[in-house]
Amino acid sequence: MLSRLLSQFPLLSSLLNLTPLGNTNQLPLTPSIHTSQCPNPPPLSCPFPPPRSIDSCCLNHPSGHFLQTQFWDTAPALGPNTSWTIHGLWPDLCAGGFDQFCDDARSHEDIRAVLQSINPTITRDLLAYMDAYWLSLDGRDNHLWSHEWNKHGTCISTLDPGCYADENPDLAVLDYFVHATSLFQTLDTFSVLAEAGILPSDHERYSLSELEEAVEFSPHGYPVTFRCHSGELNEVWYHFSVKGSLRNSYDDGTHQVSSPFLNATTVNQIFVPTDPDGAKSNCPARGIRYLPKSKSPGGGKPRPSPTRTTTSATSTPTLPPFTGKGNLVVHVIDDDLSNDAERSASTQKGCLIRLGYWYLSGTCATFKAQADVVDPGHSPLFSLSSSYSPCFINPGTGRFECTKATAVQSIFSSDSHDPTVLSYHDSTIFYADHVPQRFDKVDIYADDGDGTRNVQLEINWVPS
Ligand SMILES: *[C@@H]1O[C@H](CO)[C@@H](O)[C@H](O)[C@H]1NC(C)=O
Ligand SMILES: *[C@@H]1O[C@H](CO)[C@@H](O)[C@H](O)[C@H]1NC(C)=O
């Protein structure tokens, strides 16, 4: 198949009157010869049943099931305290199992040099990102990059030299690292776990189902494979089908390429989440440790925003409360305290996390308030959703819940005197059975459970 493709290319390029790319110091900004001949819209990898013939430059085949694998390394700690790091981008065979080291002729020992030789200006940002997020336990990061390319990258059919015709075949190396890093930027495992209340800790233990559900109910929306080392969470594998070719990063001739990365929209068009194949989790069902990279989990430098197009969310302080995005901060109502300032200083305790639980430690979930009806002279009405799911007061239990499993969203309002205070059915008081302990996740309710719920709360909107 590949030799057939190769032999086609001189003919194709002369037919299309394309000039070979002479200057390898420039990225090619013309449409690739081959992908322009591919079906549009691009097909999804691992079609079933497999068609009689597949153009392996247009579709990743026979290795069409992709894994984006990430490390959580704590000894020694690698990378930012609040981010997982990249292991690799691996093509598995559609039929199961995987090929490896598919082309010795394209093995490299110095990926940094290869990338720099393609275009130092554009690959500078790529290499800086890899220096921060693609790290080897033994400190030889460049060696890990080479290993990942040699073992896995060379098995990606759409990165075959035959798919690059007269162009610099090292562009395949660039395409591999661009896709691996861009995909990683859309899979922020640390934040997804943190928003489900799962934070690195020296003491806390987590169950495998807790970890799995956190990712399954994130934008990824599919099961992933967690891997452990001596009962410690160490790795996660995300699984994808791939639409079309990975040979398409720089085919926009209309403007100068300014960033080596693909934006999230493009990544999500190419990589389509799918169920895991092959190796299963080797983590115990419960008692899993997720150790901090430092003594101050979550206290490290936050990772740079993955979407560089939306530059550092310069929050607009003029927005009224319960507009746009914010955190829901919990205040315990203590009748002994006389004034509001004293109350707020002394009783703020934690906030709501993604599924609607009350939690003291770690990251507050980002909620979105969406105006429902504006009734002049009255407080605006709005609905709330956490990052991924609508929130509602469960009519059966009175519990505040944010879950994809519901199609219902409750309508909330705010207090007429203090518009930062959440109100439901004209009451600003919410209830809980107890104040959470350090790693406790506590349900909150809109009613007092016939007097059984002892803790009274107020929930405040803090814009984020
Ligand atoms: C993402 O990148 C594509 C291709 O460069 C571009 O057409 C699109 O407008 C970008 N989308 C966003 C949201 O920046
Ligand atoms: C991680 O935390 C440790 C201890 O607080 C600190 O020394 C280190 O600089 C942090 N690293 C990053 C990347 O934030």
pLDDT in tens, 365-402: 889 988 876 555 566 788 899 877 889 998 888 999 98
- Is pTM beyond 0.85? Reply is no
Atom of ligand 2 nearest to the CA of 296: 5
Are 389 and 383 within 8 A, CB to CB?
no
Q: What does the alpha-carbon distance between residue 260 and residue 277 come to, in Å, rounded to a whole number? A: 30
Instruction: Give φ, ψ of 446 to 5 degrees.
Output: -90, -5
Q: Is the pLDDT of residue 301 over 60?
A: no
pLDDT of residue 28: 42
Ligand 2 neighbourhood includes 296 CB (under 6 angstroms): yes
Are 149 and 171 within 8 A, CB to CB?
no
> What residue owns the CA closest to ligand 1's atom 11?
265
> What residue owns the CA closest to ligand 2's atom 7?
294
Mean pLDDT over 248-275 rounds to 77
Atom of ligand 1 nearest to the CA of 264: 1
Contacts 24+ apart (CB under 8 A), 424-431: 424/393, 428/458, 429/333, 429/456, 429/457, 429/458, 430/400, 430/456, 430/457, 430/458, 430/459, 431/455, 431/456, 431/457
Confidence of residue 306 (pLDDT cuts 50, 70, 90): very low
For the chain, list the domains and their CATH numbers: 65-295 (3.90.730.10), 324-463 (2.80.10)
| Torsion sign, CA atoms 255, 260, 263, 266 | positive
E strand or H helix at 213: helix 208-216
Q: What does the alpha-carbon distance between residue 292 and residue 294 come to, in Å, rounded to a whole number? A: 5
If you measure from the C-alpha of residue 265 to the centroid of ligand 1, how many angstroms do you get, rounded to a whole number? 7
Token representation of residue 233? 């969470």
Kindly state the percentage of the chain with pLDDT values over 90: 45
Catalytic residue among 148, 167, 235, 458: 148
Q: Is 229 a catalytic residue?
A: no
Q: What are the DSSP E strand ranges found in 307-373? A: 324-332, 348-352, 358-359, 367-371
pLDDT in tens, 97-142: 889 999 999 999 999 999 999 888 878 999 999 999 999 988 999 9
Catalytic residue among 34, 61, 65, 87: 87
pLDDT of residue 317: 47
Q: Is 401 a catalytic residue?
A: no
Q: What does the alpha-carbon distance between residue 425 and residue 422 come to, in Å, rounded to a whole number? A: 10
If you measure from the C-alpha of residue 27 to the centroid of ligand 1, how many angstroms do you get, rounded to a whole number? 18
Q: Is 143 a catalytic residue?
A: no
Ligand 1 binding residues, C-beta < 6 A: 252, 263, 265-266, 309
